[in-house]
Structure 1
Amino acid sequence: MEKIFLITPLILILALLIDLFLGDPRWLPHPVVAMGKLISSLEKKLYLQKSKQEKPQALYWRGALLSLIVVITTFLITTLVVTIAQALGTLLATFIAALLLGIALAARSLAGAALEIKDLLEQGNLAEARRKLSYIVGRDTEQLDESEIVRATIETVAENTVDGITSPLFYAFILGVPGAYAYKAINTLDSMIGYRSERYLWFGRFAAKLDDIANYLPARLTGLSMIVGAALLGYPIKAMIRTWQRDAASHPSPNSGIPESVVAGALGVQLGGLNYYKQVPSQRATMGDPLVPLQARHIGQAVTIMAVTTVIFALPALVGLYWIGKWLL
């Protein structure tokens, strides 16, 4: 039974390679799409027309029920798939586990989207860069100048290093592929209903808090891995530690401020500031010091830091998984 929730070093290496070379191919249905459909379907059943007249506590518990159903269902279905694969043989089980874990990661897609924006900026094509940026951020992009496009892209790369890479890996290390997908369900719930809008202020509050809790430890381990990785690339350790200690806690998210502040300290740029969401202004605390102006090249540097952070984060797990595997098997 313990094999179902065990990620071997081979599975981890294959998963990273699958994400690197395959990414999120359009011809392969992505499990997150299925999660989104399940969330939308349950929302229609649990967020009733009369919900706006209900007490906040009732809305909260309806949203909590939705969240628990989605996470538990995702975990059980993934466990069933892995169990069936293991029953059919070790080789197939290894391949299925690696494929599923690789699909759960977002390093290639995130890097590809960011570098495409970088290339467009270097070509002077601001209009297309704004359009591409709108695919990966929630803020308004129509009026952004080059420095603001760069800032938004770097912030997304930094934040999604946790959401899209290290947190899924962290839960895979603990609970295997089912753990990674349970986390993906939590993250998808947060992205769909975890807003502080009129509709979701109470209905999505449980999902938002669950996402904060799930990312709490991975975000801090990612921050440490990011400092080590960036230091190996030659970026100043003291600046990264200083910006983390000084700026991270002022971010609206208890977790996103960590990678954003570390990247800002590494690159010597300032992130954060004024954003617009559906034409509504939102002032975010600044991260880092504006030692140099934001330029397109900084996007490539942020992507490199993300890649090295992934390796640094995974290396201790490779050693640990090797010894755990020897002990169990």
Structure 2
Amino acid sequence: MLLFDGLTAEILILLIAALAVDGYAGGLRWPAALSTAHPGRLAERAARWFDDRLNRAARSPASLRLRGWLAALMLLAIALLTGGALQILAGAHGLGWAVALVLMVMLLTVRQPYDRASAARQALQGGNLDAARIAVDPLTDRDIYKMDAHSVARTAVEAAAERFVTGVAAPVLWAALFGLPGLLVQGVLLRAAGTVRRPDRALYGQAFILLAAIVTRPAAWLAGILFCIAAIAVPTAKPMAALKMMLRDGGKGSLSQARALAAMAGALDFSLAGPRHYAQRSIEEPWIGSGRARLLPDDIRRALMLFAIGCVVSAGLLAGLVVLILRI
């Protein structure tokens, strides 16, 4: 049920439209005025504003954690109030639905990760490793200059799965459950958590990381299920292996998107995740899946087919829910 009764079918229809719009034109640049008012960018700016004023090295660990929770809860409250106001506007005025659609398109991310991963594939096929590294750079915070061709391909595949969780499954899930407040809350929390500096994640950033995980983990389950269904339509993919791997390896490691990674790994017979190398440190994560880790450009193509069909499946499920709601 939605937080606001009587708007369920309309919200689901708008989600379908937003998936189609971003899938077709998501690579286009927003006008300057809309780009400045993008909820994700506003969340990042607000998170940095709080960080500059509250996250000081001289403070005790307990004080930093408390201040982090205060900042996170303030952003959460702002997102809830703003989303609630926009949903009330949508219910009272036709223009509100146009605003809601624009907000959904802003917070869905279908085309951008697809295009980036596809560009990396084309660069690898052409033997241009540097261009492939540059193509995946916006999709990861790892050190791209330590990547060989296989690492770039694996990073592109992992990024497609991870961005499907945060850019498709999470917005669809939380908007379908709680309308615009749910959509805005998940978008704000995910973008704010992305601004937390890695050394601060156990202190000031603890609240942001925990709240983002609460938002992401159910979406990762949904994404994994969508990948299992999508694997039916992808040549050589194995839907039952995807389901088995999602249940077996989806709980490994600390990654919130592990369920989706496991489903993709099982469907396409890959090994994903594993050790991750950053500019100043490396993180040991367990491998997810039991297939190949040395991925090739064609493996990116197969992963992107799973990504694209997963988007179509999500739209189909939303359409089925609309029909069910209208018949009740």
TM-score, length-normalised on structure 2? 0.89
Aligned pairs (5 A) from 1:26-45: 26-27=30-31, 28-29=34-35, 30-45=38-53
Aligned 8 A contact 2:16 2:315 in 1:
no
Residue aligned with 2:191, SS: helix
Shift of 1:86: 4.4
* Equivalence for 2:309: 308
Shift of 1:100: 1.3
Q: Pick closer, same or farther for the CA change 1:31–1:292 going to 2, 3 Å.
A: closer
Residue aligned with 1:116, SS: helix
Shift of 1:162: 0.8
Aligned 8 A contact 2:189 2:212 in 1:
yes
Shift of 1:132: 2.2
Residue aligned with 2:155, SS: helix
* Equivalence for 1:83: 88
Aligned 8 A contact 1:35 1:185 in 2:
yes
Shift of 1:205: 0.9
Shift of 1:6: 6.3
Shift of 1:273: 2.8
Query: 1:74 is matched by which residue type in structure 2?
Result: A
Aligned 8 A contact 2:253 2:285 in 1:
yes
Partner Cα separation in structure 1 for residue 276 and residue 219 of structure 2: 26
Query: 1:288 is matched by which residue type in structure 2?
Result: G
Shift of 1:112: 1.0
Aligned 8 A contact 1:8 1:321 in 2:
no
Shift of 1:243: 2.3
Does 1:184 find its partner at 2:187?
yes
Aligned pairs (5 A) from 1:268-287: 268-287=269-288
Aligned 8 A contact 1:117 1:132 in 2:
yes
* Equivalence for 1:245: 247
Unaligned runs of 5+ in 1: none
Unaligned runs of 5+ in 2: none
Partner Cα separation in structure 2 for residue 72 and residue 322 of structure 1: 33
Q: Pick closer, same or farther for the CA change 1:202–1:5 going to 2, 3 Å.
A: farther
Partner Cα separation in structure 1 for residue 216 and residue 297 of structure 2: 29
Q: Pick closer, same or farther for the CA change 1:6–1:93 going to 2, 3 Å.
A: farther
Partner Cα separation in structure 1 for residue 215 and residue 64 of structure 2: 22
Q: Pick closer, same or farther for the CA change 1:241–1:319 going to 2, 3 Å.
A: closer
Partner Cα separation in structure 2 for residue 281 and residue 8 of structure 1: 42
Aligned 8 A contact 1:78 1:178 in 2:
yes
Shift of 1:183: 0.3
Q: Given the alignment, which residue of 153, 157, 172 partners 2:156?
A: 153
* Equivalence for 2:102: 99
Shift of 1:326: 6.5
* Equivalence for 1:18: 21
Comparing 157-166 with 41-50, which one deviates more in the overlay?
Answer: 41-50
Aligned pairs (5 A) from 1:107-146: 107-146=110-149
Query: 2:84 is matched by which residue type in structure 1?
Result: T
Query: 2:58 is matched by which residue type in structure 1?
Result: K
Q: Given the alignment, which residue of 49, 55, 64 partners 1:59?
A: 64
Residue aligned with 2:179, SS: helix
Comparing 224-233 with 266-275, which one deviates more in the overlay?
Answer: 266-275
Shift of 1:81: 3.4
Query: 1:79 is matched by which residue type in structure 2?
Result: G
* Equivalence for 1:50: 58
Aligned 8 A contact 2:157 2:303 in 1:
yes
Does 1:69 find its partner at 2:80?
no
Q: What is the number of equivalent residue pairs in this alignment? A: 319
Query: 1:147 is matched by which residue type in structure 2?
Result: H
Partner Cα separation in structure 2 for residue 173 and residue 145 of structure 1: 40
TM-score, length-normalised on structure 1? 0.89
Query: 2:79 is matched by which residue type in structure 1?
Result: T
